[in-house]
Amino acid sequence: MSHAAVADTHDHDHDHKPKGFVKRWLMTTNHKDIGTLYLIFALTMFILGGAMAMIIRLELFQPGLQFVQPDFFNQLTTMHALIMVFGAVMPAFVGFANWMIPIMIGAPDMALPRMNNWSFWILPFAFTMLASTFFMDGGAPAAGWTLYPPLVLQGGQNLAFAVFAIHMLGISSIMGAINVIATIMNMRAPNMGYLKMPLFVWTWLITAFLLIAVMPVFAGAVTMLLTDHYFGTTFFNAAGGGDPVLFQHIFWFFGHPEVYIMILPSFGIISEIIPTFARKPLFGYVSMVYATAGIAFLSFIVWAHHMFSVGMPLGGELFFMYATFLISIPTGVKVFNWVSTMWKGAMTFETPMLWAIAFIILFTIGGFSGLMLAIAPADFQYHDTYFVVAHFHYVLVTGAVFAIIGGAYYWLPKWSGNMYSERLGKIHFWWSTISVNVLFFPQHFLGLAGMPRRIPDYSTQFAEFNMWSSIGGFAFGLAQIFFIVIVWRTVKGKGTTKATSRVWEGAKGLEWFIPSPAPHHTFQDGAPVNDEHLAHVSSH
């Protein structure tokens, strides 16, 4: 057996998964179980956030007020974004990190397993608290996910709950990130040098750094909201010498790195999938690492491109415009490297590869609109319109979410031991990819034609494209039912075949040398890593 070299298979009876639900899931310290918990949680939140998006699209299906009141509409928009960002995308990536990083670097588990459990188990509590604001007097926060004062301070009861929920999410993210860093820096198997690590591990290392750097800043910002509202401070009140725009600076100092937190691990996933199905080593591995680091660095000095219209001094506007331009360069390097990886390969197009290819094209389109937004004099026209909404859904949905779905198809056989149905997977892919473009592409036109974002009703000239967008939205939502069904059937082994340990013909990396499903404990005594096992060996 090829995997015997690295996997600890000699004591399968030692595989002891704890018995009983509470011990297995509530008290687990196993990185795979915690990874599973994160992934299930993320999917649940995706459905919840998606359900809110469906109501939003339903209301916007035609002009006039049909289903929800304006105030509730704003609550939905706000909570949709908070749930998708903090509940779906980020936890999904942490789930991948938990499952894959220890396996990929040959570690027995995450570095701090107990804290790992805590990172996860804060989340359900925090989100219950956040969601409970819907049932309070005055409802949920309704000032947008950006929580700008003074509007957010008019929120009433929900403010304290939202702020504390955000504190808890922050604590969870920081602990998760610390764990990832400690694992990667301290737990690599002998012979697993930094420049031999899979790119997914690299992108997560840098993401974790971003998380630790900016989540506390966000916590600070919302703490100032809290004290402004309840304790009479005036950070954001001109009468007392403060400035509402100060909040925006702090928020975006967090917020812009935050959007890269949601895309860097996607880059990692795509960089795993493409070489596998092109049967060719990743092109420009080292430049990929530098590009990731470059993006992370730049992400700290571009934040005010979200604030071109607040009336900054000219020098500030120019600086932030130029700095934002620069991000296109390392991101471009990534895109070109992926294409070069495919070039002259011997490609096959299994479902994960399809998602990865769609990611490259659609994310790049989102990146292009990002570049357009970065041009300050043009952003004066785009800002706070549906053009921005189109931009960030291209990078978030067809970017982050597509990478997550692609990654799920890629590793699901490894996790569950069963091969998903290619036929259903392909239907899911095509249906999603077509409908998601019907959903978000027309929003570019809406924005250019002048439709502001965050409005429950619009002038009749916008009716046609909104209808298209809504139809695309419902179709995209329905397509995700396929995903849920496919995952369920694969995990339960219904209508599936057993997966081999390598799963994909062209797959390289440690995870493909252990059995499928991956045993509960992988490398108990530290994996002896041979260069042949690895996708990237730094000798050129």
Catalytic sites, residue numbers: 80, 109, 145, 172-173, 256, 258, 260, 271, 305-306, 331, 334, 453
Torsion sign over Cα 158, 160, 163, 167: negative
Query: What's the CA gap between 268 and 199, in Å, rounded?
Result: 5
Query: What's the CA gap between 348 and 353, in Å, rounded?
Result: 8
For Cu ion, give the closer residue by CB, 256 or 414.
Answer: 256
At its nearest, how many Å lie between Cu ion and the CB of residue 379?
Answer: 11
DSSP run (H or E) holding 409: helix 402-416
Residue 146 as a binder of ligand HEA (CB under 6 A): the answer is: yes
Q: Which does 264 bind (CB under 5 to 8 A by kind): Cu ion, ligand HEA, other proteins, none?
A: none
Binders of other proteins among residues 252 to 271 (CB under 8 A) are 253
Residue 453 as a binder of ligand HEA (CB under 6 A): the answer is: yes
Query: Per-residue x/- mask for ligand HEA, residues 246 to 265, rule CB under 6 A?
Result: -------------x--xx--
E strand segments, 354-496: 418-419
Q: Which of 229, 383, 414, 521 binds ligand HEA (CB under 6 A)?
A: 383
Query: What's the CA gap between 146 and 220, in Å, rounded?
Result: 14
User: What is the Cα 181 distance to its own chain's centre?
Assistant: 18
| 206, 292 Cβ separation under 8 angstroms | yes
Binders of other proteins among residues 407 to 446 (CB under 8 A) are 445
Helices assigned H by DSSP within 262-302: 264-278, 285-298
| 127, 67 Cβ separation under 8 angstroms | no
Residue 468 as a binder of other proteins (CB under 8 A): the answer is: no
How far is residue 18 from each of residues 13, 39, 124, measured CA to CA in Å? Answer: 12, 20, 22
Residue 157 as a binder of other proteins (CB under 8 A): the answer is: yes
Q: What are phi and psi of 452, to 5 degrees?
A: -70, 155
At its nearest, how many Å lie between other proteins and the CB of residue 244?
Answer: 6
Binders of other proteins among residues 309 to 328 (CB under 8 A) are 309-311, 313-314, 317-318, 321-322, 325-326, 328
Residue 53: which residues within 8 A CB-CB, separation 6 or more?
80, 84, 473, 477
Window of 30-38, 101-109, 191-199, 384-392 that interacts with ligand HEA by CB under 6 A: 384-392
Q: Which residue is nearest to Cu ion (CB)?
A: 256
At its nearest, how many Å lie between ligand HEA and the CB of residue 241?
Answer: 27
Beta bridge partners of 498: 418
Residue 306 as a binder of ligand HEA (CB under 6 A): the answer is: yes
At its nearest, how many Å lie between ligand HEA and the CB of residue 442?
Answer: 10
Residue 517 as a binder of other proteins (CB under 8 A): the answer is: no
For other proteins, give the closer residue by CB, 238 or 478.
Answer: 238
Q: Which of 399, 406, 509, 519 binds ligand HEA (CB under 6 A)?
A: 399
Query: What's the CA gap between 505 and 277, in Å, rounded?
Result: 8
Torsion sign over Cα 337, 343, 348, 349: positive
Q: How many residues bind Cu ion (CB under 5 A)?
A: 1
Q: Which does 262 bind (CB under 5 to 8 A by kind): ligand HEA, other proteins, Cu ion, none?
A: ligand HEA
If you count them, how many residues does the chain have?
Answer: 540
| 263, 395 Cβ separation under 8 angstroms | yes
Query: Per-residue x/- mask for ligand HEA, residues 170 to 199, rule CB under 6 A?
Result: ------------------------------
Tokens of 469: 């967008």
At its nearest, how many Å lie between ligand HEA and the CB of residue 210?
Answer: 12
Residue 138 as a binder of other proteins (CB under 8 A): the answer is: yes
Tokens of 316: 């500030």
Q: Which residue has the tokens 């040398």?
A: 513
At its nearest, how many Å lie between ligand HEA and the CB of residue 29?
Answer: 29
For ligand HEA, give the closer residue by CB, 84 or 288.
Answer: 84
Residue 58 as a binder of other proteins (CB under 8 A): the answer is: no
At its nearest, how many Å lie between ligand HEA and the CB of residue 446?
Answer: 10
Binders of other proteins among residues 379 to 408 (CB under 8 A) are 380-381, 383-385
At its nearest, how many Å lie between other proteins and the CB of residue 480?
Answer: 26
Residue 225: which residues within 8 A CB-CB, separation 6 or more?
147, 149, 152, 153, 159, 163, 236, 247
Torsion sign over Cα 248, 250, 255, 257: positive
Tell me the one-letter amino acid at 71: D
Q: What are phi and psi of 385, to 5 degrees?
A: -115, 180
Residue 383 as a binder of Cu ion (CB under 5 A): the answer is: no
Binders of Cu ion among residues 207 to 266 (CB under 5 A) are 256
Q: Which of 214, 273, 389, 436 binds other proteins (CB under 8 A)?
A: 214
Q: Would you tell me the crossing angle of helices 422-448 and 386-395 to the nearest 10 degrees?
A: 160
Residue 160 as a binder of other proteins (CB under 8 A): the answer is: yes
Residue 476 as a binder of other proteins (CB under 8 A): the answer is: no
Residue 143 as a binder of other proteins (CB under 8 A): the answer is: yes
Tokens of 71: 């105030």
Binders of ligand HEA among residues 54 to 83 (CB under 6 A) are 54, 56-57, 77-78, 80-81
Query: What's the CA gap between 382 and 370, in Å, rounded?
Result: 11
Tokens of 146: 């950006």
At its nearest, how many Å lie between other proteins and the CB of residue 46?
Answer: 22
What is the number of other CB atoms lying within 10 angstroms of the CB of residue 54? Answer: 18
Residues within the interface to Cu ion (CB under 5 A): 256
